[in-house]
Amino acid sequence: MHRYPESCLNFEYDASFPIRGLYYDQKKGYLLKLDFFHCAEPDGCFYGRRRLTRFEIEEAYGGIHISIEHMPNLVALMDLFCLSEVCLLSDVIQHFVNLKVEFDATYVYEDVKKSIEFVHRSGLMHKLVLEEPAKYLHRNDAVVEMLRTLKNRGKKLFILTNSPFPFVDGGMRFLFEEDGLAGDSWRELFDVVVALADKPNFYTSERPFRHYNSKKDILGFNRVETFLSQSVYYQGCLKQFLEITKWRGPEVLYFGDHLYSDLRGPAKAGWRTAAIIKELEREIATQNEMNYRFQQAKYHIVQELLGKFHGLPVTGPIGEEERQLLLALRKVRKESRLAMKAMFNPYFGSAFLTDTGKESAFAYNVQRYADVYTSRLENLMMYSSEAWLYTPFDVKILPHHIKVGPSKMFQVDKVS
């Protein structure tokens, strides 16, 4: 489509390379891992597959802090789909560098983004998934049980997706067929089904809903003024959705795994939001490993020693013995940082933390747009459907890193 070299067809997705929460500099072609304060992690920035040096980062941005003048050039890669985007961007740039091909980093980003969007909008991916659903989809009886429990307890359920209904229907039929909900009966669980919603534009536009006839694959022309049972709707907007359902924002708990396209809009609109973050399971498991805890303890001990060392009164030039001790402590600290980082991801480390222990920009966005977060929907089965959910807002750290007391709470009656 964009006439790239045929050698690009030899690229293979490297699952060990990308993490969520990176930023791509469209002007320089750099992949950056930033912390809570938009400082670049010196060992977590790449140009293609080459790790940038601290000197290169400081030369490009005037230091490791990415100032406001550079932020408009950065694209946040926060969603699950961005994992393939990160890998493809780095592979294309590295390939062009190896071939000594001149290129503009902005064009590379635009071409990669359009190519990935084409795979989704053309239906090619949907077709492949529905041809072999068992290869791509995993049945989960716990999710089915949770949905049925919520429905039986009087909660209202709805689906709001950017996918076309035939793809949604095919996937749901596969997921529910072993639970006695074969055919169209899965739709009995949901009060409203909205497909091709065009999130995040759904939350800000004033586009009307259209009724979708799934049997004839056509859209209706009549104005939608109510949502009928067992019906499917396309497009629409949040404003009209709230007018029809009469659901107040705080009554709704919206689940999504895309921080920007799923949760940013609902959060700003007043809905309660729950982020599904699969990476949590590996992150928590890694933090609980003995080797990680050992390196973490060693890091904190050395950090404390360095603090005491720098706090000593200086009456003259530092001696050679003190200088060697200082260098040795810094070396041990760096070794511990790198060891902990490699346990998560050898290139970028933890999605939630930088190698200095500060929370990442991804963690900041989780706090900003998600009221609660978990790795799996069924984790909430441990709680009553009437339970109040608490999340902290007065600390700059996520709950799975430190135990904190509750500071805000909500209860919901509508769930997506």
Among residues 246, 276, 311, the one where a domain terminates is 246
Query: In this structure, are residues 89 and 18 in contact, taking their beta carbons and an 8 Å threshold?
Result: no
pLDDT in the model for residue 41: 93
Shared-domain flag, residues 95 and 139 = no
Shared-domain flag, residues 156 and 53 = no
Shared-domain flag, residues 138 and 118 = no
User: Does 215 fall in a domain?
Assistant: yes
**pLDDT grade for 407, boundaries at 50, 70 and 90:** very low
Shared-domain flag, residues 14 and 109 = yes
CATH number at residue 224: 3.40.50.1000
Answer whether residue 394 shows pLDDT above 60. no
Shared-domain flag, residues 194 and 155 = yes
User: Does 67 fall in a domain?
Assistant: yes
Mean pLDDT over all residues of the chain?
A: 87
**pLDDT grade for 409, boundaries at 50, 70 and 90:** very low
User: Does 331 fall in a domain?
Assistant: no
To which residue do tokens 């921080």 refer? Answer: 259
User: Could you tell me whether strands 209-213 and 232-235 are parallel, antiparallel, or unpaired per DSSP bridges?
Assistant: antiparallel
pLDDT in the model for residue 408: 43
Is residue 185 exposed (0-12), middle (13-18) or buried (19+ Cβ within 10 Å)? middle
Query: What is the rounded average pLDDT of the residues 197-209?
Result: 92
Query: What is the rounded average pLDDT of the residues 247-252?
Result: 86
User: Does 33 fall in a domain?
Assistant: yes
User: Does 177 fall in a domain?
Assistant: yes
Question: Strand pairing partners for 210?
Answer: 234
pLDDT 10s digits, 100-157: 999 999 999 999 999 988 888 888 899 999 999 999 988 888 888 888 888 988 899 9
Answer whether residue 403 shows pLDDT above 50. no
pLDDT 10s digits, 145-196: 888 888 988 899 999 999 999 999 999 999 887 555 555 678 889 999 999 9
Among residues 63, 88, 122, the one where a domain terminates is 122
Number of domains in the chain: 2
Shared-domain flag, residues 100 and 151 = no
User: Does 200 fall in a domain?
Assistant: yes
Side-chain half-sphere exposure of 261, counting CA atoms within 13 A: 15
User: Does 145 fall in a domain?
Assistant: yes
Q: What percentage of the chain has pLDDT greater than the value 70? A: 89
Query: What is the rounded average pLDDT of the residues 61-88?
Result: 93
Shared-domain flag, residues 14 and 118 = yes
CA angle 193/389/252 to nearest 5° reads 25
Quote the domain boundaries for residue 170.
134-246
Shared-domain flag, residues 176 and 108 = no
Shared-domain flag, residues 108 and 162 = no
Among residues 99, 122, 145, the one where a domain terminates is 122
User: Does 330 fall in a domain?
Assistant: no
